[in-house]
Amino acid sequence: MQYLHLDTPVSPLRQRLIDDMNMRRFSRETQRNYLRDIGRLATFLGRSPDTATADDLRRFQIEQQEDGVPVPTMNSIVSALRFFFTQTLDRPDLARRLVRLAHPRNLPVVLSRDEVARLLNATTCLKHQAALSVAYGAGLRVAEVSMLKVADVDSERMLLRVERGKGGRYRNAMLSEDLLTLLRQWWKVGRQQGVMHRDGWLFPGQHAMKPISTRQLYRIVVEAAQAADIAKRVGPHTLRHSFATHLLEDGTDIRIIQVLLGHAKLNSTALYAKVATKTVRTVTSPLDKLGLFKPEEASPDG
């Protein structure tokens, strides 16, 4: 995996931070975000972030709040700074001074099965259809789809090896028969086009030596949704949400779904129970079991 390498010269502190992130196999996107967020603190201080005091961190977070920085952004900055102070500086006492804010999670947008089918059929080429089918059929994050290699398709065990998951974690995702058939079709076409190689990317970008970008995958989903006349606001993650919700509605145990999604915590997966409308409809209300209110029978004559 190619990790983030910055142009020289690089300060010893910055290089140490990069080395710490590389050692933990952080994705390129995560590394960029952490460097940016730690840079916010340095800009606020007007000096190196390793000189920050507990009072500096308090004033920094108060200013962020007063400036109207969204709560999710503030929490992302906290994650970056906690890593910096705990792992790079060995100052867990400062990391504990950083406050994460609670915020209500919006319910995810979920497509119906018919909408998913329409969206996949509205793609403009086989590569795009295969990439979006992986996102829905295996429940992968957009960055995970982007970073798949041909060798990650394990047709013997019917698994997709996800080596670059969130937080650098490895896991196995499901590979269905229909998805394998589609990927084999794409392999054949990609070989004919000269862009597919056995040791290469499953979904090459504009240059075969680089993977398709997450930004391009986002555009593909948006354009397919528009072509399919889907009014909902969708992105690649919508397909992952739909994967989880449809499995839950089909009666799949939520802990199995947790493993398939690669969630570290069950409460992340439990969010889908709130949008699984089919599951709600199949539950019998305790009021109905009382039998107090029977529907009136129609009279014989009308």
Q: What is the pLDDT of residues 200-233, one digit of tens each?
A: 999 999 887 899 999 999 999 999 999 999 999 9
Residues 77 and 149 in one domain: no
User: Are both 189 and 132 inside the same structural domain?
Assistant: yes
Do 123 and 203 belong to one domain? yes
* Helix pair 28-45, 12-23: axis angle to 10 deg: 150
Question: What are 4-57's pLDDT values in tens digits?
Answer: 444 446 789 999 999 999 998 887 888 899 999 999 999 999 999 999 999 999
| Same-domain pairing of 122 and 270 | yes
pLDDT of residue 8: 43
Identify whether 141 is a catalytic site residue. yes
Residues with Cβ within 8 Å of 274's Cβ and at least 6 positions away in sequence, in order, are 107
**Does a structural domain hold residue 286?**
no
Same structural domain, 118 and 256: yes
The DSSP string of 118-137 is HHHHT-SSHHHHHHHHHHHH
240 included as an active-site residue:
yes
Active site residue 237: yes
- CATH number of the domain residue 66 falls in: 1.10.150
Note the pLDDT of residue 145.
Answer: 94
Q: Is the sign of the CA dihedral 12, 15, 19, 20 positive or negative?
A: positive
**Domain assignment present for 269:** yes
Catalytic: 272? yes
**pLDDT at residue 281, rounded to an integer:** 62
Within its chain, how far is the Cα of 7 from the centroid? Answer: 29
The list of the chain residues with pLDDT below 50 reads: 1-8
Sequence-distant (6+) residues with CB within 8 A of 286 are none
Whether the predicted model's global pTM rises above the 0.75 cut? no
Q: 65 with 198, same domain?
A: no
* pLDDT value for 245: 86
Are 38 and 124 found together in one domain? no
Number of structural domains the chain divides into:
2
Task: Name the active-site residue from 97, 127, 128, 141.
Answer: 141
Asked if residue 149 belongs to a domain, the reply is: yes
Say if 206 falls within a structural domain.
yes
Q: Of 28, 91, 161, 263, which residue is the catalytic one?
A: 263
Cα 236 to Cα 128: distance, rounded to the nearest angstrom: 12
- What pLDDT is attached to residue 221? 96
CATH number of the structural domain spanning residue 197: 1.10.443.10
Q: Which of 166, 171, 197, 218 is catalytic?
A: 166
Q: Which of 97, 128, 240, 246 is catalytic?
A: 240
Same domain flag for 257 and 126: yes
Regarding whether 90 and 142 lie in a shared domain, the answer is no
Paired tokens of 24: 């933990």
Shared-domain flag, residues 194 and 229: yes
In a domain, 211, yes or no: yes
Residue 198 appears among annotated catalytic residues? no
pLDDT of residue 5: 44
210 is catalytic: no
Q: Which domain holds residue 201?
A: 113-281
Asked whether residue 245 falls in the same domain as residue 183, the answer is yes
Q: What's the rounded Cα separation, in Å, for the pair 144 and 142? A: 5
DSSP string, 27-80: -HHHHHHHHHHHHHHHHHHTS-GGG--HHHHHHHHHHHHHTT--HHHHHHHHHH
pLDDT of 270: 65
Let me know whether 178 and 216 are in one domain. yes
